Structure 1
């Protein structure tokens, strides 16, 4: 039993993947870090809570409680950069989004440690995703894999200026049908939105998206200001009033995904 991995199967043709909301750091990893606070700083705080309503849609929800500092399940396991030439983080990040070191000098994970973490955490997450994709594809002609993320509105090392509220990634149109991207973007109308801007979809979107075989993968990167106070103490606290304004839009987004998967949107 892996208590860090949560799989909530649903029957609707949609999977909500939440790879970065976790903050857990095992003691054997924690001892090599400069601080737990730094290790947890870049988490997608409360994204699992933000999308808890997805179960009402019959969605399958898969999430990990493990911090992305331990291992990032949304990175290419080969080590290849998802954004060549741009600042990013790897499978077992050694720095945070701001470029600051996460580990004590000389205690960064070596090849053997990366392989151990991959076997313990990365592989089971993707086995779960693959299993649920296969289960749902056996009963639906097409499904949507919705990869849910959030990030600070301003991260100068990663992008210039302030990020739009909704950032939709479809690997430049390769991971899903154009009509799915259009439907999701339409659900966000009236709000600042980017499609395949700085965030085009991580490894999950790129690896599993297979439109020709009925698997349509799309990533949503939310600016955190939409549901919490980015200017207050860190780690942040859940802001119910902000979340209450954002969640109806996210409900419309998932409704658009379901309409597409069920064939209402071609």
Structure 2
């Protein structure tokens, strides 16, 4: 048994040595490439050390990982091709299906669950979710932020800020908690609340809950609960307070104004 273990260790060492030597020989502008049979997995890098037996690998410099139609680039990666898990660090950009991820550290827990850490942003369906860390569960199409801040940005530039956001991308529903602040330049709208539910489709709405207030073009409405629709309709409930500023009518030109005044005097 001892001899067999020594032989196995020697074989693993040879596998690593061969790949390291290949990477060194190809270092002059050509990347080393390793292919693992399961799951259409491949990796390219300036330097690559790969254990064929265990599937453990370390890649350095211009790392490109491809698996089942997904692609990720980074400065450094340590991963296991058999368990399909690993960590990529440094200028990470990852794309799979219609999801685009940017972060400093990318943790792949398994085929479906991952974490983007450090300036993390996940974009899917025209919406971008940003935070110090975003955990994403592919099977459920569900993302949640971890840290003291979170931001959900829409394709029209509208921004929802909060302490925490979870986003069910399959259903198009985002829940925001703590210090909710909404700004939409396209609609000249600002809003705030303790928490919010955001239905993100075209016929959706934002429901503000707790100390809710919305202001648009100088007009404001506040209440315990406030729902804003895409048709600029506000529905308030509980301790409602509305401030409405009528639009100023343009002044009449000189002669027309004088004629109007004369008619009024007559």
Q: TM-score, with normalisation over the residues of structure 2?
A: 0.21
Point out which structure has higher relative CO (alpha carbons under 8 A, 6+ apart). 1
* Larger helix percent: 1
Q: TM-score, with normalisation over the residues of structure 1?
A: 0.21
